[in-house]
Structure 1
Amino acid sequence: MSDYLNADGSVRRDSVLRAEIAFNGKERDLYWVARYVTQSLDAYLDSRLARGHGVTTRPQAYRGLDNAGPLFLAATGTPFLFTRRHTSTGKISYSCESLTAIYRHLHHQAGIENGSASAARRTFAVNLRRSGVDLDTIRRLLGLSLSAVKRIVDSDPVRLGAIVARVI
């Protein structure tokens, strides 16, 4: 909770995605600056408080929610369970099948075929690059290696189409 809220209940502008909950085990910066995101999260936190999920005995702090608890809880009010895995290259990776199912459902509702967290990261990276953001900044925001970011942005179909259009 304290990754999103200050003790007075205001939204933190800058935060960190901690290594222990990152999909690739690497810490990276988070910025709570998009109004539609913070409005949605605030509505979610209001509903959690109304259901009594993750509340504290100190109602004046963190909007009455336990600051040591996770920002997101399952519908039952319990924390999501993450599975820690070792990849074939020996790196540590985290996954949560419940959250993956939620992402799939949200993408389906939005009419996005084959939507995934990876596809969202790819879209974010490509849009940043199209806007002129340098690769190292994109790498820091996504918590990926520079080579992974290069692979993502170099496969931008719009950029590749523009190259073909200039040649033909």
Structure 2
Amino acid sequence: MAKAPVIEKRQLRHMLKVAAATGASPPRDVALLYVLYGTGVMLTELAMLTVRDYLLESGGVREESTIRAEIAHNGKERPLFWVNAKVVSAVDAYLTHRLSFRHGATTLKATFRGLDPDGPLFLRADGEPYRLTARRAGSGAISYSCDALSQVFRRLHTQAGVEGGHALAGRRTFAVRLHRKGFDLRHISELLGHSTLTATKRLIDSDPVKLGELVASII
């Protein structure tokens, strides 16, 4: 299976610009892209994040959160940080948009910004949650997918002219960018929830960095 593409900064900027002007829920789509590319989460993890995973009861942002074991792709808890200003700004704008439509809202306006803390962080354009589908392999192992959210990401990439783009592109791009910045495999692996450094190295290998860009930024 071919690796997901690495999305360069200019491509992501264009994708965000297009997402902000198209679709049934531009604020949600922009926030989805920022979270995907800014945290390295898996698609099903993103679908199962709750408001409580992002917000404190006071309504402030939970800067140090976790991908809980029950939603993690490998069943193991790992750290999740809401500290990137662009990611936080996009998610906050989306939650404000949600409240204007009363999607997932409660009567308790003083806590969790008036949103149901145990409800999904991201909802469909109609305010309904994304549904996961369970699949059982021949070995008996059960895996989950979220086809509706997967289609959202394919649309966001396609409409911006990014060929072969899908949700895993965010995870690989996240890893490659950290590696380009000089962070070691151990730290990248911890953020991604990989059980081995080999898995992280496999994701980073064949980084399609352009040689001209390396030379241009050397001094």
Q: Where on the TM-score scale, by shorter chain, does this alignment land: which range?
A: 0.7 to 0.9
Partner SS, residue 176 of structure 2: helix
Structure 2 residues not aligned, in runs of 5+: 1-50, 213-219
Runs of 4+ in structure 1 over 6 Å off: none
Normalising by structure 2, we get a TM-score of 0.66
The answer for the alignment partner of 2:113 in structure 1 is 63
Residue 153 (structure 1) aligned with residue 204 (structure 2): yes
Task: Tell me the alpha carbon deviations over residues 129-167 of structure 1, each in whole angstroms, 9 at most, x when there is no partner.
Answer: 1211111111111122322111122222339x69xxxxx
Cα distance change of structure 1 residues 45 and 137 upon mapping to structure 2, 3 Å threshold = same
Residue 136 (structure 1) aligned with residue 136 (structure 2): no
Higher relative contact order by CA 8 Å / sep ≥ 6: 1 or 2? 2
Residue 26 of structure 1: CA displacement?
3.8
Q: Over aligned residue pairs, what C-alpha RMSD do you find?
A: 2.2
State the alpha-carbon separation in 1 of the partners of residues 139 and 199 from structure 2.
15
**Which deviates further from its counterpart, 86-95 or 108-117?**
86-95
State the alpha-carbon separation in 2 of the partners of residues 117 and 92 from structure 1.
20
Partner SS, residue 16 of structure 1: strand
**Which deviates further from its counterpart, 78-87 or 57-66?**
78-87
Structure 1 residues not aligned, in runs of 5+: 163-168
Residue 94 of structure 1: CA displacement?
2.3
Max Rg structure: 1
The answer for the alignment partner of 1:85 in structure 2 is 135
State the alpha-carbon separation in 2 of the partners of residues 147 and 4 from structure 1.
30
Task: Tell me the alpha carbon deviations over residues 58-112 of structure 1, each in whole angstroms, 9 at most, x when there is no partner.
Answer: 1111111011111111122221111233456765432101110111122223332
Amino acid at match of 1:102: V
The answer for the alignment partner of 1:42 in structure 2 is 92
Identity of aligned residues (%): 54
